[in-house]
Structure 1
Amino acid sequence: MHLTQTAGVIGGLAASFVRVPTEVVKTRMQMGQFSSAPNAVRLIVSKEGFKGLYAGYGSFLLRDLPFDAIQFCIYEQLRIGYKIAAQRDLNGAENAVIGAFAGAVTGAVTTPLDVIKTRLMIQGSANQYKGVMDCVQTVIREEGPAALLKGIGPRVLWIGIGGSIFFGVLESTKRKLAERRPPSSSLPHLNSKQD
C-alpha cells in the first residue's frame, strides 16, 4: 500500500511542473481574464514574471499529492478486496467501475483543496490572499464553510469518469504487456563471461 501511495505522490510531483502553468492559464481563461492561451502566458509573464505561471503552486501540490495518494490507495485496496471475494482476475468493466468509485470519492474528499487552489491561482497580482491558511479563513469568514464545497457535484462526476477511463486503460495495458512478456523459463541464459 505504501509503495502505491509513494508512486502516486512522486508521479504527481513530477507532473506538477507542467500541470501548474497549464492550470493557471486554463483557470484564468475560464474566469474571462484572457482570450487565448498564448495571450495569457505572455501577459502573466509580463505582469507577474515567470513565477506568475506557478501561482498557487503550493496549493496545487496540497490538492494533488494527497489526491494521487488517496485515489491509488482506494483503488488498489478495493481491487484487491474485490479480487479476493470474486476469487478470479477482474475484467475491464470491473476495473473501470472500481476506478470510477475511487476517483469520485477522492474528488469529493479533496474538493475543499481544489477550491483553495483555484482561488489562489486566479488572484493574479492582486494578492487577495496571503497564502493557503489566509485563503481558507477568508473564504469561511466571508462565504461560510459550505463555500469550500463549491463545485463538488461536477468535480465528483468528471473525476469519477476520468478514474474509470484511467484505471480501465491502466489495467488493460498491464494485462497486454504481461501477455507479450515471454515466460522467464524461455529467456536465453546469459553467460556472465564475454567471448
Structure 2
Amino acid sequence: MIREDDPRFHITPFQQMASACSGALITSLFMTPLDVVKIRLQAQQKALLSNKCYLYCNGLMEHLCPCGETAWIPRRVHFHGTMDAFYKIAKLEGVPALWSGLSPTLVLALPCTVIYFVSYEQLRFKMKNFYNQISGNMSQPMWIPLIAGATARMTAVTIVSPLELIRTKMQSKHLTYGEISTALRHVIRYEGYRGLFRGLGSTLLRDVPFSGIYWTTFESTKRLFNRPDSEKNTFLFNFFCGSVAGSIAAFLTLPFDVIKTHQQIELGEKEIYTDGKTQQRASNMQDIARNIYRNHGFKGLFTGLLPRIFKVAPACAIMIATFEYGKQFFRQYNIQKYKEKMQRHQEFVVIGKSKSNDFS
C-alpha cells in the first residue's frame, strides 16, 4: 500500500520552482490591475506635487513612481473612482493597459519568489526530518516554519538586493534590459560593491519578521483546524489560511514597513532626481522612526494599516494557495509515476516467470 506521506514522493526542487512560478504568475495577473488603477488615482491626486515619489505593490514587487512623471496617464482623462478608472483605462487605452508593469515584475520578482519558496520548502523539510529522527515525534513544532521562513526570506532578499537600485533606474529613466549592466557598473564606480546593497538592512528588518510570522501563523492555522497535512487541504482552505497569516503578519510588521517605505522613497528621490551622481544616503532607520514618532506619535508607525492588509492578505492568499495546489499536483504526479513503474516491473516479473515455466 502506498502512503501519501512517503518521503519518496516528496516533490523535487524543480517541481517546487514550477509551483512557485505558477503562484507568482497568477498572483501578479490578479493583483496588477488593482494596483494599476490605484496608482492612476494616486497620481491624479498628487499631480500637482513635483519631485515626490510614492510606492505601490502588485503583490510581488514594489514599484517606485515619481508623481511628476505621469506622461503615461492621459492628461485629459479624469477618474471619478475605482470602477470609473477601470472602465476608462480599458476603453481608452485597451484592456492590456490594466497589466502595465507586469513584464518587469515577472522578470525581477520571479527569481526572488522562486528562491524564497524553494528555500523555505527545503529548509522546512530537512529540519522536520532531523527533528523527527532525534525526537521520535512525527509532528512539526512551530519553531521550524519560523526559522525556515525567516532564513529563506533573508537569503532571497540578500541575493536579489542588487537589483533594487537597477529596478528604480529602469522605472524612472526607462532603461532597456540591455542597459542593466551599464547601470550596474555606474553604481559600482561611484559607491563600490556596497552600493548594490543600499537599503538592505531596512528591507530585512521588515521582510524577515514578516516571513517568520507568516509561515508560523499559516502552519498554526492549519493545525488549529486539525488539518496540518498540506497534501490533503483544498485550494479554498489554503487560501483562507494564507489570508489569515498575511493579515496577522502585515499588522505586526507594519511599523517596519512604514520605516522601509520612507527610506526607499528617500533613496528613490535621490536616485531619480540627482541622476545617481550624488553619494548622499537616506536617513537611517532610527532617525526615520524618531521623526515619524515626533510628528505623528505612535500611531504614525501604523499608518496605512487597512490598505496594507487589503493589499497583502489577498496577495498572500493567492500565492500560497496556488503554490500548495502545485505541490499537490506534482505529488500526485510522482505517486502516479511510481505506480506505473511498479506495474511495469510486476508485468516484467510475470512475463519472466512465464518464460521460465515454458523452458522447464
Category of TM-score, reference length = shorter chain: 0.7 to 0.9
Alpha-carbon distance between aligned partners in 1 of 2:163 and 2:298, rounded to the nearest angstrom: 28
Q: 1:51 to 1:73 in 2, by over 3 A?
A: same
Q: Does 1:179 align with 2:320?
A: no
Q: 1:24 to 1:140 in 2, by over 3 A?
A: farther
Kept in 1: contact 2:150–2:212 (CA 8 A): yes
Normalising by structure 1, report the TM-score. 0.75
Alignment equivalent of 1:154, drawn from 293, 307, 330: 307
Provide the residue aligned with 1:170 in structure 2: 323
Provide the residue aligned with 1:57 in structure 2: 200
RMSD, matched Cα: 3.3
Report the Cα offset of residue 145 of structure 1: 2.3
Kept in 1: contact 2:203–2:260 (CA 8 A): yes
Determine which structure has more spread, i.e. the larger CA radius of gyration.
2
Q: 1:23 to 1:144 in 2, by over 3 A?
A: farther
Q: How many residues of Structure 1 are paired with residues of Structure 2 in the alignment?
A: 182
Corresponding residue SS for 1:123: helix
Q: Hey, which of these two has a bigger chunk of helix by percent? A: 1
Provide the residue aligned with 2:149 in structure 1: 8
Q: 1:68 to 1:25 in 2, by over 3 A?
A: same
Percent of pairs with identical residues = 27
Provide the residue aligned with 1:71 in structure 2: 214
Alpha-carbon distance between aligned partners in 2 of 1:52 and 1:147, rounded to the nearest angstrom: 30
Structure 1 residue runs of 4 or more that deviate by more than 6 Å after TM superposition? 27-30
Report the Cα offset of residue 27 of structure 1: 6.5
Kept in 2: contact 1:83–1:90 (CA 8 A): no
Alignment equivalent of 1:144, drawn from 297, 301, 310: 297
Normalising by structure 2, report the TM-score. 0.44
Report the Cα offset of residue 13 of structure 1: 1.4
Q: Does 1:36 align with 2:174?
A: yes
Q: Does 1:110 align with 2:110?
A: no
Alpha-carbon distance between aligned partners in 2 of 1:121 and 1:51, rounded to the nearest angstrom: 16
Corresponding residue SS for 1:83: coil
| 1:159-178 per-position Cα deviation (integer Å, ceiling 9, x unaligned) | 11111112101221221122
Q: Unpaired segments of 5 or more residues in structure 2? A: 1-141, 268-278, 346-360
Q: Unpaired segments of 5 or more residues in structure 1? A: 189-195
